[in-house]
Amino acid sequence: MTAQLPFAVTGAVEPPRVQRELQGKGPVHRIRTRVGDEAWLITGYPQVRALADDPRLGRSHPDPDNAPRLSESALIGRPTGEFETELAEHARNRALLQPYFSPRRMRTLRPRVAELAGRFLDDLAAHDGGPVDFNPVVALPLPIMVICELLGVPYEDREQFRAWSEAAGNADMREHSHQGLIELFTYGTELVARKRRTPGDDLISGLCAEDSLRDDEIAVLSMTLLFAGHETTVAQIGLGALLLLTQPGQWQGLLDAPDRIAPLVEEIMRAPMSGTGGLPRWARADFEVDGHLIRTGDLVLLDIAAANHDPAVFEDPDRFDPDRGAVPHLGFGYGGRYCLGAPLARMEMQEVLGQMAQRFPELRLAIPVEEVRFHDDRLQSGVVELPVVW
């Protein structure tokens, strides 16, 4: 029987049973997506790393109306972009955006990120010992505030664009997702028009000054950054807090040695599991992977979480171990598709989780870890709620 997504996630670092069974049979698998379409699931570390930067895969499709779909999400469940120009546009956009995420700019931004992390931890402290859900108080607002300031998006609009982002990324409700995407990009178009009239010192204003970009392109690019710039980091901060509080010795280890936060964050990026299938890509040519023929137009799912748990690469991969060594995780992608926002995401996680440990040494889960629930209706399988006390 062909396995079908999503795979049930039962713990933060424990692979779904179906996923582990598939991985035991090899790195390439024929499965069905949550909407019933056929796809290739790639679970091996070497294969995922190679394909992450392979020009024979992309986000577009030569016949998008008849392309296999990952889900009902209008944003990430189906092909996007123009097939003929995708690779050139990706290279152009990456070159335009790179300066905004340069090491120098990140160093300049760090004090502000630290200040914001402290502010939202103040909000947590105001709950006087809890119980309180960590997600809406800390994990959610910090990445939203940071990406708003970077892009030039008014923070007071967060309730609106957060709702549209959640709708656009919803994997199960097609019309709801489509409407959310329309609302999000309509908002982006209006924002670009405002920046044209009154530019500021922000990324969207900078893109408006580029002669090579049309306003609709700037709207799409900036709203995609808005979505990606907070959605994944929100999930990782929540998962990071869960892992630090539940994996043996990690919370006390961070209290004893605050400089351990950097390797801890890298392991937080590697260790969490997902059952959603990973990054969707569509084949731009016929080619083989590990003896399997992938044809033009096929849907290929790069299962980052499974690759990061490949036992041929990571010893005892289901153990949370910040000292495991030099093999790089694929949590931010690889090569030319490596996430431009990786330095920013690392910074946010390091600041908020590092400060949290020092300020709340008695922090602990308010519920048994077995009762923690994980999202299965979006690309990033974050925790639904994270009640804590101290």
CATH number at residue 162: 1.10.630.10
Residue 379 predicted with pLDDT over 70: no
11 domain residue, yes or no: no
User: How much of the chain exceeds pLDDT 70, in percent?
Assistant: 99
288 domain residue, yes or no: yes
Is the peptide bond preceding residue 131 cis, with omega within 30 degrees of 0? yes
355 domain residue, yes or no: yes
Q: Which tens digit of pLDDT belongs to each residue from 73-131?
A: 988 899 999 999 999 999 999 999 999 999 899 999 999 999 999 999 999 999 999 89
Average pLDDT over residues 189-215: 94
Average pLDDT over residues 134-158: 95
Residue 378 predicted with pLDDT over 70: no
Separation between Cα atoms, residue 275 and residue 346, nearest integer Å: 23
User: How much of the chain exceeds pLDDT 90, in percent?
Assistant: 84
pLDDT of residue 75: 87
194 domain residue, yes or no: yes
Q: Which tens digit of pLDDT belongs to each residue from 311-331?
A: 999 999 999 999 987 789 999
Residues 6+ apart with CB under 8 A from 23: 15, 43, 44, 306, 309, 310, 311
273 domain residue, yes or no: yes
Average pLDDT over residues 220-246: 92
Residue 24 predicted with pLDDT over 80: yes
Looking at the structure of the chain, the number of domains it has is 1
218 domain residue, yes or no: yes
Residues 6+ apart with CB under 8 A from 49: 307, 330, 334
Average pLDDT over residues 351-373: 96
Separation between Cα atoms, residue 142 and residue 139, nearest integer Å: 6
- Pick the closest to residue 145 from 157, 134, 135 (CA basis): 157
Residue 308 predicted with pLDDT over 70: yes
Q: Which domain holds residue 59?
A: 17-362
Average pLDDT over residues 223-244: 92
Residue 376 predicted with pLDDT over 80: no
263 domain residue, yes or no: yes
pLDDT of residue 336: 87
Residue 297 predicted with pLDDT over 90: yes
368 domain residue, yes or no: no
